């Protein structure tokens, strides 16, 4: 930068790199499009899978967009921004991440063409924001109220699971998903993992997978003398420990006579005995302890017929509290019957060849549940878990909002048609951005058709014709490639998934478009490829984990 008299003024450190204007916008858009392209082929029931290999050589095969984006080793800062938006979509709704990323990539592709026509990015951002608001209104207008309809909830769960490679057990898993979502729907927690625990057990038939109205804890009894099975369980959850605390490292106790040693040990034993007596007085016959249970405490607990489990994870304790109605107790001497939870059965069972687990079952009004999955392999069980997670989230969305829309690309076609009508009422350049937004949204039915092996142009033309005739529920039948009534076929999706996907995509695109200057500091640790600057972000570096 030149100062007065032509003397240069240096404001950046040596080695820093700065890019501005259209050049940086094109590079940023290229990076975002690359992320969208990475997940585009996974969309829909006929989508392809990706194999992700981590640093230790372990492979994950999935077509779950959220998992793919989370596992990819992405370096480009704009590509990272797109992934963060996808993560926000997954955290907020639990599904629709692939849709959001595809639309975001298409919005930026259309914006790039407008920038080349000298439409200012600010105008495009304004138009996109207007289109996003209008799209939300259109989706709300076409939404269908299904409050309390369990058949629809099953269809929602099945739609979320189609294409996940678990169709062989889809009906069983969909029913489990709906039952679990209904059980925890009253909970205020936004994160489904706080209320639904999935336990994966390799081996057995998929059809053996069940929902347990209680919690399964991957632990065993602390002492074999304790009962293996307790019916009408009165459960205590202890945050502390049932053993004497160790002395500080610099503390010393001097005992000069043998009788004093015996007295000291008797005192220790008396304290433990009082703690166990407090548990018995409260009426507890099952104890889950977050920390340790000493040998003396184990003896007294077993003597009183109490089943105890030690070193239970904090999240398991919290889920047990939700399931059984118990309160977490810090001081064992202060426990009362009001602090205890209830379950019809607590039992230690053998799982697989040599593993033991504690099953807490029959909890009335359980606000946390467990799902026990059986499958042929760890990889298949992981894919089942991902499919169930998506299904739980979308079913909960419908339970809480009561609104659905037809699937198969029908909402996107409807939004695109109405946005084009809206754009024709405007006079400024914003109408160009709104038309571009409409074209971008149509990327979803186009991609669905392409992934299913049908001609995308023919499919889109057929859908536009049906919607032009007022058949707003028509989407793409991915078996025949022809337009069909999605409601009649039972292909439905939560309204919230669609509204949030379009909102997330618009936010991601506008965030990228507003950047016109990139200043990259020198990064010594980066090894440049031959002929490449260590600050060169021209191509997104997105290798899979290796």
In a domain, 351, yes or no: yes
- Structural contact between residues 307 and 220, judged by C-beta atoms closer than 8 angstroms: no
* pLDDT tier for residue 252 given thresholds of 50, 70 and 90: low
Q: Pairing relation of β-strands 474-476 and 216-217?
A: unpaired
Residue 462 belongs to a domain with what CATH number? 1.10.560.10
Considering the domain architecture, whether residues 385 and 469 belong to the same structural domain is answered as no
Considering the domain architecture, whether residues 183 and 222 belong to the same structural domain is answered as no
pTM over 0.85? The answer is no
Angstrom distance (rounded) from CA 420 to CA 302: 74
Q: Distances from the Cα of 267 to the Cαs of 244, 301, 303, 499, in angstroms?
A: 11, 18, 20, 65
Dmax (CA) of the chain = 100
Bridge partners, residue 369, by sequence:
196
Say which range, 4-18, 65-79, 370-384, 403-417, has the weakest mean pLDDT. Answer: 4-18
Considering the domain architecture, whether residues 249 and 290 belong to the same structural domain is answered as yes
Number of domains comprising the chain: 3
Residues marked active site are found at 64, 97-98, 390
Residue 311 belongs to a domain with what CATH number? 3.50.7.10
Considering the domain architecture, whether residues 14 and 92 belong to the same structural domain is answered as yes
- Final residue belonging to a domain, choices 365, 382, 417: 365
Average pLDDT over residues 442-462: 89
In a domain, 546, yes or no: no
Considering the domain architecture, whether residues 155 and 270 belong to the same structural domain is answered as no
Our CA dihedral for 109, 115, 119, 120, rounded to 10 degrees, sits at 100
Considering the domain architecture, whether residues 442 and 481 belong to the same structural domain is answered as yes
Considering the domain architecture, whether residues 172 and 309 belong to the same structural domain is answered as no
In a domain, 533, yes or no: no
* pLDDT tier for residue 437 given thresholds of 50, 70 and 90: very high
Considering the domain architecture, whether residues 251 and 382 belong to the same structural domain is answered as no
Domain residue limits at 14 = 4-144+406-520
- Structural contact between residues 346 and 215, judged by C-beta atoms closer than 8 angstroms: no
Question: In 442-494, where does DSSP find H-type helix?
Answer: 443-451, 456-468, 486-489
At residue 165, the pLDDT reads 64
Angstrom distance (rounded) from CA 99 to CA 104: 9
In a domain, 537, yes or no: no
In a domain, 373, yes or no: yes
Angle at 134 between CA 436 and CA 403, to 5 degrees: 120
478-507 pLDDT tens trace: 888 888 888 888 888 888 888 888 988 898
| CB < 8 Å & 24+ apart, contacts of 168-176 | 168/206, 169/206, 169/207, 169/209, 169/384, 172/206, 172/207, 172/209, 173/206, 173/209, 173/384, 173/387, 173/388, 173/391, 174/391, 176/209, 176/210, 176/211, 176/371, 176/388
In a domain, 204, yes or no: yes
Angstrom distance (rounded) from CA 244 to CA 267: 11
Going by C-alpha positions, the residue among 410, 495, 460, 464 that lies closest to residue 136 is 495
Q: Which DSSP state fits 214?
A: S
The residue to which tokens 């991915």 are assigned: 478
Residue 46, pLDDT > 70, answer: yes
More confident position, 424 or 63: 424
Angstrom distance (rounded) from CA 546 to CA 201: 28
Report the length, in residues, of the chain: 546
Average pLDDT over residues 27-53: 80
At residue 133, the pLDDT reads 92
Residue 526, pLDDT > 60, answer: no
Say which range, 143-152, 263-272, 320-329, 533-542, has the weakest mean pLDDT. Answer: 533-542
Q: Which helix (H) or strand (E) holds 177?
A: helix 170-184
More confident position, 546 or 270: 270
At residue 523, the pLDDT reads 58
* pLDDT tier for residue 395 given thresholds of 50, 70 and 90: confident
At residue 264, the pLDDT reads 44
Q: Pairing relation of β-strands 50-53 and 59-62?
A: antiparallel
More confident position, 314 or 521: 314
What's phi and psi for 33, nearest 5 deg?
-65, -35
501-521 pLDDT tens trace: 898 889 888 888 887 666 565
b or e along 477-502 (b: 16 or more beta carbons within 10 Å of the residue's beta carbon)? bbeebebbbbbebebbbbbbbbbbbb
In a domain, 461, yes or no: yes
65-75 pLDDT tens trace: 777 777 777 77
In a domain, 157, yes or no: yes
* pLDDT tier for residue 542 given thresholds of 50, 70 and 90: very low
At residue 14, the pLDDT reads 58
Residue 91 neighbours by CB distance under 10 Å: 13
Range ranked top by mean pLDDT from 237-251, 264-278, 301-315? 301-315
At residue 267, the pLDDT reads 58
Considering the domain architecture, whether residues 126 and 15 belong to the same structural domain is answered as yes
Q: Is 339 left (phi over 0), alpha (psi -120 to 50) or beta?
A: alpha
Considering the domain architecture, whether residues 196 and 224 belong to the same structural domain is answered as no
Angle at 51 between CA 46 and CA 57, to 5 degrees: 165
- Structural contact between residues 194 and 77, judged by C-beta atoms closer than 8 angstroms: no
Considering the domain architecture, whether residues 453 and 349 belong to the same structural domain is answered as no
At residue 403, the pLDDT reads 85
Going by C-alpha positions, the residue among 390, 395, 405 that lies closest to residue 135 is 405
Considering the domain architecture, whether residues 72 and 103 belong to the same structural domain is answered as yes
b or e along 275-295 (b: 16 or more beta carbons within 10 Å of the residue's beta carbon)? bbebbbebebbbbbbbeebbe
Residue 338, pLDDT > 70, answer: yes
């Amino acid at each position: 930068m030149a100062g007065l008299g032509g003397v240069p003024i240096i404001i950046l450190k040596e080695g820093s790199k700065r890019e501005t204007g259209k050049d940086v916008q094109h590079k940023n858009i290229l990076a975002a499009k690359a992320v969208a392209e990475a997940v585009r082929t996974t969309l829909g029931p006929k989508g392809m899978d990706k194999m992700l290999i981590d640093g230790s050589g372990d492979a994950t095969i999935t077509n779950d967009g959220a998992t793919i984006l989370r596992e990819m080793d992405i370096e480009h800062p704009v590509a990272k921004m797109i992934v963060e938006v996808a993560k926000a979509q997954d955290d907020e709704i639990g599904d629709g991440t692939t849709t959001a990323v595809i639309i975001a990539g298409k919005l930026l592709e259309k914006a790039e063409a407008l920038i080349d026509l000298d439409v200012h990015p600010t105008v495009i951002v304004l138009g996109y924001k207007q289109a996003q608001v209008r799209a939300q209104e259109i989706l709300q207008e076409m939404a269908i109220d299904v409050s309390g309809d369990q058949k629809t909830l099953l269809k929602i769960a099945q739609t979320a699971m189609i294409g996940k490679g678990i169709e062989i057990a889809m009906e069983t898993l969909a029913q489990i998903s709906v039952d679990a979502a209904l059980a925890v729907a009253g909970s205020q927690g936004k994160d489904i993992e706080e209320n639904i625990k999935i336990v994966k057990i390799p081996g057995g038939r998929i059809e053996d997978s069940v929902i347990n109205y209680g919690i399964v804890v991957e632990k065993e009894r602390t002492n074999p003398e304790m009962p293996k099975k307790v019916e009408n369980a009165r459960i205590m959850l202890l945050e502390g420990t049932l053993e004497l605390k160790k002395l500080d490292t610099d503390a010393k106790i001097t005992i000069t006579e043998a009788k004093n040693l015996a007295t000291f040990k008797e005192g220790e034993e008396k304290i433990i005995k009082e703690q166990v007596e407090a548990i018995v007085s409260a009426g507890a016959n099952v104890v889950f302890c977050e920390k340790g249970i000493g040998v003396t405490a184990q003896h007294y607990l077993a003597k009183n017929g109490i089943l105890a489990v030690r070193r239970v994870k904090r999240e398991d304790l919290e889920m047990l509290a939700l399931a059984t109605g118990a309160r977490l107790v810090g001081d064992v001497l202060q426990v009362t019957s009001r602090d205890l939870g209830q379950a019809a059965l607590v039992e230690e069972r053998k799982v697989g060849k040599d593993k033991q687990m504690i099953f807490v079952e029959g909890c009335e009004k359980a606000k946390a549940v467990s799902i026990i999955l059986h499958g042929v392999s760890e990889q298949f069980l992981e894919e089942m878990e991902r499919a169930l997670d998506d299904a739980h989230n979308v079913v909960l969305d419908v339970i809480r909002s009561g609104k659905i829309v037809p699937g198969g690309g029908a909402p996107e076609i409807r939004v695109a048609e109405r946005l084009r009508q809206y754009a024709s009422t405007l006079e400024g350049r914003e109408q160009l951005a709104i038309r571009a937004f409409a074209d971008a949204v149509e990327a979803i039915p186009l991609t669905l058709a392409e992934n299913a092996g049908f001609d995308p142009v023919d499919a889109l033309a057929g859908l536009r014709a049906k919607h032009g005739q007022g058949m707003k529920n028509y989407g793409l039948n991915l078996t025949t490639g022809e337009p069909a009534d999605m409601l009649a076929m039972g292909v439905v999706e939560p309204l919230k998934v669609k509204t949030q996907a379009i909102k997330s995509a618009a936010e991601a695109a506008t965030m990228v478009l507003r950047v016109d200057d990139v200043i990259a500091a020198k990064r010594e640790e980066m090894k440049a490829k031959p002929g490449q600057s260590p600050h060169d972000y021209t191509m997104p570096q997105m290798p899979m984990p290796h």
